[in-house]
Structure 1
């Protein structure tokens, strides 16, 4: 997505007119109109209600505004960082949780290779608590995971949320067709990720809130393994929906209707402070940018950006 188009959109909103945005960006009014039209074509929705007396955002325009402002902010952060380190080199050790592997990791690595081809990346995928330990011990430079690392040598930045759901086999293959209570759902085995992970804790918190004691909770570290278990009807799984969007679209998994809702999966990028290089800071900003792009692409049902401030 062209950030110049987003910049034009934001300035039209701030100044209340296409003419004002054109003057601010030293462009013609026709160029501003063309950029807004391109955005509307990309998203398939009108962004403005064009009243002769007043320019008003549509509901789609209001949704896009928060994303656009955030993306431009990330762009400014990256430009500032790049002015200090125009060429990144050396080795950067990055750790991610499984959810990132199943969502926007490939796009992130491709962007990293395109912008900083001289930077050698060493990648590992581990649960959050292990990534925290490795980051504190200096065995990682960056961790993309689910909780802030409380350490004065490490900086944290929230990069978004991913809704979680109760997941089961395909519809028609033993999947629930009616709304279930958590007590009914817990009559079968429940499957969560690693013990102490956000999905596991979300499951336990929801059970406590509903006064339900599950008979069996299986803790499995691999999302791929959980997908196979849930798809075979072995149990009801707790998973971030974005990580299984392909399976949901293909109908190989389905969302189990349940009266008990789960909180979202929180995502954080953490990096070590290194006075000798800003490579980790620059790459952490790129991770934040990719998280935002992913949220914009898949929509709020799958992912939402971090709130500003």
Structure 2
């Protein structure tokens, strides 16, 4: 007796297997949990074996599931290529959900959207701007296809593509007439504002002052890069921000970079995306993001 399976059943299996969660897989495929469970059950009935072990608290592949997963991924990839070749420029519109930090939005999100419009015209984009920890959580829940964030995401089925490294900087309004170089003790006398409390930057600034015996300081936070820049421009205090937000002439007239002997850390930004079937749009956009970063690096040099 032959096996008669549907691509949507294969798609459900691959999504559950890579995300290790029925809920996250359902979110990725824009269907309900009961619907994705029914697809998996139908597939298991056709192959005559259980593919996902549901007995414990975690979703685990059975021996048969591990045996069939790679083949299932290849089937989906072949199907995608077939549709692309068959449709030509008449590809069906598809949505990609992108998460990015405020730093990336300020630095080159417009360039990325231009690349998407040119090379992936069948995609529509949904952009969510938040901190790296919150975007990572959304990615792991299957509510994002791609997250451009600080640091790798170490979750099943997620791939990380290194993009760029940015140094944090001390900045201040030129109206304050501060010297070009200041010690950490001198900086501690001013109000300081940086990214949200759950960001790596906030933690590193706090740690810097604590380790040098200068805590407490008047350290404030915001999850908006634009707010951070505007508040600092107004002379409210000293800002700590990524160098990526200080490129170009937009803020050069109103803001100055302050050099401090104690350097702020440098952070790597990566494009984290799912390798399940729906996540292939994430992979394509991640490659475009890397192209943008390489071009900007060449232009800078």
Which bin holds the TM-score, normalised by the shorter protein?
0.5 to 0.7
- Change in 2 beyond 3 A, CA 1:188/1:247: farther
Counterpart contact for 1:191–1:217, Cα < 8 Å? yes
1:26 is aligned to: none
2:300 is aligned to: 298
Give the deviation of 1:178 after TM superposition: 4.9
1:97 is aligned to: 101
Give the deviation of 1:248 after TM superposition: 6.8
Compute the TM-score of the two structures, normalised by the length of structure 2: 0.66
Match of 1:152 among 156, 159, 167: 156
> Structure 1: which 5+ residue stretches go unaligned?
1-81, 300-309
1:239 is aligned to: 241
SS at match of 1:271: strand
1:136 is aligned to: 140
- The root-mean-square deviation of aligned C-alpha atoms, in Å, is 2.2
Match of 2:288 among 275, 286, 290: 286
Question: After alignment, is 243-252 or 142-151 more displaced?
Answer: 243-252
Larger radius of gyration: 2
Match of 2:122 among 118, 122, 127: 118
User: Matched residues in 2 for 1:197 and 1:154: separation?
Assistant: 21
User: Matched residues in 2 for 1:98 and 1:125: separation?
Assistant: 6
Q: Deviations over 1:34-90 (max 9, x none)?
A: xxxxxxxxxxxxxxxxxxxxxxxxxxxxxxxxxxxxxxxxxxxxxxxx978666741
- Change in 2 beyond 3 A, CA 1:237/1:249: closer
Corresponding pairs, count: 216
Give the deviation of 1:147 after TM superposition: 2.0
Give the deviation of 1:265 after TM superposition: 2.8
User: Matched residues in 2 for 1:221 and 1:277: separation?
Assistant: 27
> Structure 2: which 5+ residue stretches go unaligned?
1-79
Match of 2:254 among 252, 255, 258: 252
Counterpart contact for 1:168–1:231, Cα < 8 Å? yes
Compute the TM-score of the two structures, normalised by the length of structure 1: 0.65
- Change in 2 beyond 3 A, CA 1:229/1:247: farther
1:223 is aligned to: 225
Q: Deviations over 1:91-114 (max 9, x none)?
A: 111111001110111011001110
- Change in 2 beyond 3 A, CA 1:193/1:247: farther
